[in-house]
């Protein structure tokens, strides 16, 4: 599959990554190469293989429904760029 | 042109676990801001989610209650989007292999018709945090206490054809999740949220119209109004030659309208993929068997039993079993009071509910517990008090902790069933009303009610009404 400039721009937007126009062509080539590499697997006959969501043949372990965490807000918020009144502050988000 | 409305609902039911779905933080509502957000909830690097067993059990119970397929092997996936109240940059949800597959619920509509609504699926996911936009100048505050709270997203087929049907379905789901005790159903606190996918199409056509999704509806009443507004809006757009845009719309209760929120054109760009941090969840048959043993009696079964066991009407049984708290209250009162099912049913549906409605209370918050209410029913049943006096006593009970007998004694409300005492009052009234007596004896029999009223008044409402009627008729004959 060939990735064009439009797809690069769209993926960049979804990932909220800023890329300058000069690097678009390079990204398009690299992404195409990655997809082509993965595409080689399409040639393998997988009709007899169960689809898997995880490479390990293991199942999820579950934990009991018990509260064991205590309030560590102060420790967490000491690393945050901006806090006020217990809230984490971010640039205004307007719907 | 005649239009047909098509509605599907997505209901997010907050599961009533003590801890979060992937972390051991508390899910308690109303805690101090960010005091229940730990490293996992904050999306700190290096942390791993560990699934809460109770959330899995609750999802399976829901499947059992809705005759739904159980995903014996379900998979969590990452739904990727950016928003400040979602610190990881993705929500852990389920996509291709949900824990609950297709099911059905029976919904009784206003006219008594029972409609079967299809469930597409129900899946487990984590809730996001809360953004506060109006507290800080030029900035948004984020509270992550809610982040990671377990949700069961229940998706219906587009089977509803009117706002009323959609509300009846939503109420039914609400009733089910409360019966099986997996969600507290509190809509004000956001524990039970309904999003409605609404579209219209010309009557007789099969193709679905373009839909709009309505969010932010926190009561059944608003759900009905929001859908009705949206249907009118879409018909107006189409009839004036426009096209409906697929988008998310917010319901604004103050202005009773829906408003465009954000375009969902990127809706297919969540780039779901299996979450590598979580292994597939396998549900063994033995677990399903164990959980189905623990299932409580569900609304339909209980309603049917109330009809057959207590000879209640379908309607009364339906009212009493619509939620579990009411049905439990009824059965508790019935078992302890000795009063008839019909009496208890009419008192709960009438006097008790009207007082709760007036004070804006739910049954579990009733100032009169089942125990005390049972005492009141006993005293009506054994003729200590009349129904009329019982209403006064219920008012007294509403405002105090006193039990029925204490109030009866304190207020001197014991019913007068002593026939000599009633006879004396009847004699006095007859003597004081010679002209009415004469008229009655000439055939004006509706004056009986006048005499009953006078004697009741003399007894301050306490005369046993049955006895009074009977004795009065005798006396009036002369």
Dump pLDDT digits (tens) for A5-41.
999 999 998 888 999 999 999 999 999 999 999 999 8
The pLDDT tens digits of the residues spanning B254-295 come to 888 888 876 544 555 889 999 999 999 999 999 999 999 999
Element (H, E) at B321: helix B314-321
Which among B60, B165, B171 is positioned nearest to B123, based on CA atoms?
A: B60
Please say whether the beta carbons of B71 and B283 come within 8 A: yes
Rounded average pLDDT over A53-79: 93
- Mean of the per-residue pLDDT values of chain A: 91
Angstroms from A17 CA to nearest CA on chain B: 12
Mean pLDDT confidence for A61-87? 96
Nearest Cα of chain A lies from the Cα of B152 at a distance, in angstroms, of 16
Q: In whole angstroms, what is the distance from residue B373 CA to residue B367 CA?
A: 10
**A75 touching chain B per CB within 8 A:** no
> What are the two backbone dihedrals, phi and then psi, of residue B440, each rounded to the nearest 5 degrees?
-60, -45
Give CA–CA dist A80/A50, Å, rounded. 44
Q: Which residues of A touch B49 (CB under 8 A)?
A: none
pLDDT, residue B382, reads 87
For residue B197, the 8-state DSSP code is E
Which of B323 and B86 is assigned the larger pLDDT?
B86
- The tokens for B73 are 């092997």
Contacts 24+ apart (CB under 8 A), B264-272: B264/B213, B266/A14, B269/A10, B269/A14, B270/B79, B270/B80, B270/B81, B271/A14, B271/B80, B272/B77, B272/B78, B272/B79, B272/B80, B272/B93, B272/B95, B272/B96
pLDDT of residue B266: 53
* Cα B62 to Cα B218, B328, B333, distances in angstroms: 22, 20, 29
Q: What pLDDT is stored for residue B264 in this prediction?
A: 46
DSSP string, B160-190: B-SHHHHHHHHHHHHHHHHHTTS----TTTT
Considering only CB atoms, B143 lies closest to which of A60, A69, A87, namely A87
User: pLDDT value at position B409?
Assistant: 84
Task: Identify all chain B residues contacting A84, using CB atoms and an 8 Å cutoff.
Answer: 136, 141
Summarize the confidence of residues B397-410 as an average pLDDT: 88
Residue from B96, B138, B140, B271 to probe the interface with A (highest A Cβ count within 10 Å): B140
B82 touches chain A (CB under 8 A): yes
pLDDT at A53 over 90: no
Q: Is the pLDDT score of A95 beyond 70? A: no
| Residue of A35, A11, A50, A14 whose CA lies nearest to B75 | A50
CA distance B217 to B231: 16
User: Cα–Cα distance between B278 and A60 in angstroms, integer?
Assistant: 7
Contacts of B96 in chain A (CB under 8 A): 53
pTM of the model: 0.83
SS3 B42: coil
- Percentage of residues of chain B with pLDDT beyond 70: 99
The answer to whether residue B86 neighbours chain A at the CB level (below 8 Å) is: no
Average pLDDT of the residues of chain B: 92
Checking if the pLDDT of B366 tops 70, the result is: yes
Distance from CA of B351 to the nearest CA of A (A): 40
What pairing do the DSSP bridges indicate for beta strands B51-52 and A62-63? parallel
Helix axes B324-337, B163-179, angle to 10 degrees: 60
List the single range of B222-236, B334-348, B406-420 with lowest mean pLDDT: B406-420
DSSP A84: E
The predicted model gives B201-216 an average pLDDT of 92
How many angstroms from the chain centroid is the CA of residue B92? 29
User: Over 90: is that where the pLDDT of B418 sits?
Assistant: no
Find all residues with CB under 8 Å of B426, minimum gap 6, and list them.
B451, B455, B468, B471, B472, B475
Chain mean position to CA A61: 24
Secondary element (H or E) of residue B262? strand B257-263
Chain A positions in Cβ-Cβ contact with residue B261 (cut-off 8 Å): 95
Kindly report which listed range (B235-239, B340-344, B451-455) carries the lowest average pLDDT score.
B451-455
The rounded distance, in Å, linking the Cα atoms of B396 and A34 is: 78
Structure tokens belonging to residue B269: 């760009």
Q: State what percent of residues in chain B have pLDDT above 90.
A: 69
Contact B24 A72 (CB under 8 A): no
Positive or negative torsion for Cα B460, B466, B467, B470: positive
Q: Which residue of A has its CA nearest to B248?
A: A95
What local confidence, expressed as pLDDT, does residue B262 receive? 63
CA A40 to chain centre: 23
| Res A57 pLDDT > 90 | no
Q: How far apart are the first and last CA of chain B?
A: 74
Residue range B377-384: average pLDDT?
Answer: 90
Report, as an integer, the average pLDDT of B24-32. Answer: 95
pLDDT of residue B110 exceeding 90, the answer is no
Give the mean model confidence (pLDDT) for residues B22-44.
96
B 228-287 residues with CB < 8 A to A: 250, 261-262, 266, 269, 271, 274, 276, 278-282
Q: Do A65 and B39 lie within an 8 Å CB cutoff?
A: no
Q: Is the pLDDT of residue B1 over 90?
A: no
Of the candidate ranges B53-62, B178-187, B399-408, the one whose mean pLDDT is the lowest: B399-408
Q: Using 50, 70 and 90 to split pLDDT, how confident is the model at B476?
A: confident
CB contact under 8 A, B34 and A92: no
Count, in order, helices (H) and strands (E) of chain B: 16, 16
* B18 to A63: CB separation less than 8 angstroms, yes or no: no
CB contact under 8 A, A88 and B142: yes
Task: Look at residue B21 and tell me whether its pLDDT is greater than 60.
Answer: yes
Dist. CA B444–CA B453, nearest whole Å: 16
Residue closest to B394 by CA, chosen among B474, B318, B333: B333
Token readout for B209 is 């119209």
pLDDT at B336: 94
The encoded tokens of residue B137 equal: 């100048």
Residue B174: pLDDT band with limits 50, 70, 90: very high
Please judge whether A65 and B140 are an interchain contact, meaning their C-beta atoms are less than 8 angstroms apart: no
pLDDT (0 to 100) of residue B260: 86
**Angstrom distance (rounded) from CA B145 to CA B42:** 9
Window B:328-387, CB contacts with A under 8 Å? none
The H or E element containing residue B222 is: helix B220-239
- Mutation choice for B interface testing from A38, A51, A53 by most B CBs within 10 A: A53
Least confident range of B138-152, B368-382, B397-411? B397-411
A22 touches B at CB < 8 Å: no
**Number of CB atoms found within 10 A of residue B399's CB:** 8
Residue among A53, A59, A63 whose CB faces B274 most closely: A53
**Chain A residue closest in CA terms to B268:** A14
Give residue limits of the domains in chain A: 5-42
pLDDT reported for residue B194: 95
d(CA A90, CA A83): 9
Query: ∠B334-B338-B343 over CA atoms, to 5°?
Result: 60
Q: Which of A56, A69, A70 to mutate to test the interface with B (most CBs of B within 10 A)?
A: A69
* Interface residue A93 vs chain B (CB under 8 A): yes
Q: From the candidates B31, B73, B279, B281, which should be mutated to test the interface with A, based on the most A CB atoms within 10 A?
A: B279
Taking CA atoms, B23 is separated from A54, B30, B35, B38, in Å, by 21, 18, 14, 8
> Chain B, 276-305: which have a CB under 8 Å from a chain A CB?
276, 278-282
pLDDT exceeds 90 at position B226 = yes
Q: Give the residue-averaged pLDDT of A62-73.
A: 96
């Amino acid at each position: 599959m060939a990735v064009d400039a439009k797809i690069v721009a769209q993926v960049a937007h979804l990932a909220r990554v800023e890329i300058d126009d000069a690097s678009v062509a390079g990204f398009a080539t690299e992404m195409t190469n990655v997809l082509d590499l993965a595409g080689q697997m399409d040639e393998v006959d997988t009709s007899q293989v169960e689809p898997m969501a995880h490479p390990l043949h293991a199942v999820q372990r579950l934990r009991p429904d018990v509260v064991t965490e205590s309030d560590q807000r102060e420790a967490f918020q000491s690393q945050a760029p901006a806090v006020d009144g217990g809230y984490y502050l971010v640039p205004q988000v307007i719907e | 042109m005649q239009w047909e409305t098509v509605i599907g609902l997505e209901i997010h039911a907050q599961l009533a676990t003590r801890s979060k779905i992937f972390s051991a933080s508390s899910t308690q509502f109303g805690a101090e801001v960010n005091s229940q957000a730990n490293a996992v909830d904050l999306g700190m690097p290096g942390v791993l989610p560990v699934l809460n067993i109770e959330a899995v059990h609750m999802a399976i119970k829901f499947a059992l209650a809705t005759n739904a397929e159980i995903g014996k092997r379900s998979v969590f996936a990452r739904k990727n989007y950016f928003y400040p109240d979602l610190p990881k940059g993705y929500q852990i949800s389920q996509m291709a292999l949900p824990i609950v597959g297709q099911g059905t619920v029976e919904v009784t509509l206003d006219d008594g018709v029972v409609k079967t609504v299809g469930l597409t699926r129900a899946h487990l996911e984590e809730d996001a945090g809360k953004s506060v936009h109006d507290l800080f100048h030029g900035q948004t505050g984020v509270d992550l206490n809610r982040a990671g709270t377990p949700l069961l997203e229940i998706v219906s087929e587009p089977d509803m054809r009117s706002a009323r049907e959609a509300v009846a379905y939503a109420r039914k789901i609400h009733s089910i999740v409360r019966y099986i005790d997996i969600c507290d159903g509190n809509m004000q606190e956001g524990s039970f949220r309904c999003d409605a996918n609404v579209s219209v199409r010309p009557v007789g056509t099969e193709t679905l119209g373009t839909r709009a999704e309505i969010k932010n509806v926190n009561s059944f009443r608003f759900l009905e109004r929001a859908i009705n507004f949206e249907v009118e809006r879409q018909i107006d757009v189409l009839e004036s030659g426009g096209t409906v845009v697929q988008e998310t719309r917010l319901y604004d209760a103050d202005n009773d309208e829906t408003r465009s929120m954000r375009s969902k054109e990127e809706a297919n760009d969540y780039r779901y993929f299996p979450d590598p941090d979580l292994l597939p969840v396998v549900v063994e048959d033995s677990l399903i068997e164990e959980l189905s043993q623990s299932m409580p009696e569900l609304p339909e079964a209980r309603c049917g039993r109330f009809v057959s066991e207590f000879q209640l009407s379908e309607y009364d049984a339906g009212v009493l079993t619509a939620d579990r708290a009411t049905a439990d209250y009824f059965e508790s009162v019935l078992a302890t009071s000795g009063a008839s099912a019909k009496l208890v049913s009419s008192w709960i549906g009438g006097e008790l509910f009207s007082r709760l409605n007036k004070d804006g209370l739910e049954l579990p918050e009733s100032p009169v517990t089942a125990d005390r209410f049972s005492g009141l029913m006993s005293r009506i049943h054994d003729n200590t008090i009349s129904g009329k006096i019982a209403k006064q006593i219920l008012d007294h009970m509403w405002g105090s902790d006193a039990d029925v007998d204490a109030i009866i004694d304190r207020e001197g409300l014991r019913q007068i069933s002593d026939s000599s005492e009633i006879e004396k009052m009847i004699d006095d009234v007859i003597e004081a009303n010679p002209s009415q007596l004469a008229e009655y004896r000439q055939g004006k029999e509706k004056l009986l009610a006048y005499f009953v009223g006078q004697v009741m008044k003399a007894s301050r409402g306490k005369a046993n009404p049955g006895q009074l009627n009977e004795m009065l008729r005798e006396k009036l004959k002369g």
